[in-house]
Amino acid sequence: MSVLIIGTFIYALGGRLPEKFESVVLINSVGCKSAPTQTVGTVVAKNIVLTVAHGVAGQSSNSITTIDGSVIQAKIVAIDTELDLALLYIGADKGGESLVPVVLGSAKANSKVKFISFTDDEQISQTAKVIQRLRIDTQDIYLKEKVSRPGLEIDAHVVVGNSGGPIINNKNEIVGIVWATSRSIQNRSWATRVEAANDMLNLLSMSNPESTTPEVVACSR
């Protein structure tokens, strides 16, 4: 199986829906790669954005852009390089307070869902399908250690830069975040189930999340 990790420039096609999700944001990161990295994040707790680790690891600066064009600086407050997950803090005084968290939910096999991404600064919603729930045997973001993640196999058009894009169920709950797509099978992609982030969220001090500083990690490949 040939898999493409997706996290630089954002472009998406497919069934497009007019619905917009204010709490799904574009993330721009700079500092450790030859070009800026763009990924997608979702507000899942007060002032906390969930995204993929491979887009923000080792970067010196991360910012989010909301659908109204507001740009807010963000700080990494938790990161898991095995699960490829990261949490970013956005200050309430900088506009983060207005972004309402999306509820964490679960996905059923063969269910219709939405996949949210961005084309440049425009948010795109496309119809997708959960093929199956599964454990995904893969590698960490440095391609060094074997890991197993709770995952979803998705039928969705996903391209480079869509990493971190949320999978949203029919209750408008986030059920997973996309991190890879197949190089050989059209519209075959994979997401990490959102419950994988529970431990990071539970360990985070919600009373003062900005005070949390995770272990420094290197830039991903």
Split at pLDDT 50, 70, 90, the class of 13 is very low
CB neighbour list of residue 110: distance below 8 Å, 6 or more residues apart: 129, 130, 131
Max alpha carbon distance in the chain (Å)? 46
pLDDT digits (tens, 9 = 90+) for 121-133: 899 999 999 999 9
Global confidence as pTM: 0.88
For residue 61, what pLDDT is reported?
Answer: 95
Tokens of 166: 């949320």
For residue 121, what pLDDT is reported?
Answer: 87
For residue 18, what pLDDT is reported?
Answer: 46
Q: What gap in Å lies between CA 158 and CA 154, rounded to an integer?
A: 10
State the span(s) of the chain assigned CATH 2.40.10.10.
22-101+198-207, 112-195
For residues 135-147, average pLDDT: 96
pLDDT digits (tens, 9 = 90+) for 24-62: 999 999 998 888 999 999 999 999 999 999 999 999 999
The helix or strand, by DSSP H or E, that contains position 54, with its residue range, turns out to be helix 53-56
Task: Give the CATH number of domain 112-195; options: 3.40.50.2300, 3.40.718.10, 2.40.10.10, 3.30.590.10.
Answer: 2.40.10.10
For residue 131, what pLDDT is reported?
Answer: 98
Count of C-beta atoms within a 10 Å radius of residue 121: 13
The CATH superfamily of 22-101+198-207 is: Trypsin-like serine proteases (2.40.10.10)
pLDDT digits (tens, 9 = 90+) for 195-204: 999 999 998 8
Nearest to 6 by CA among 171, 177, 185, 199: 177
> What 8-state DSSP symbol labels residue 15?
S
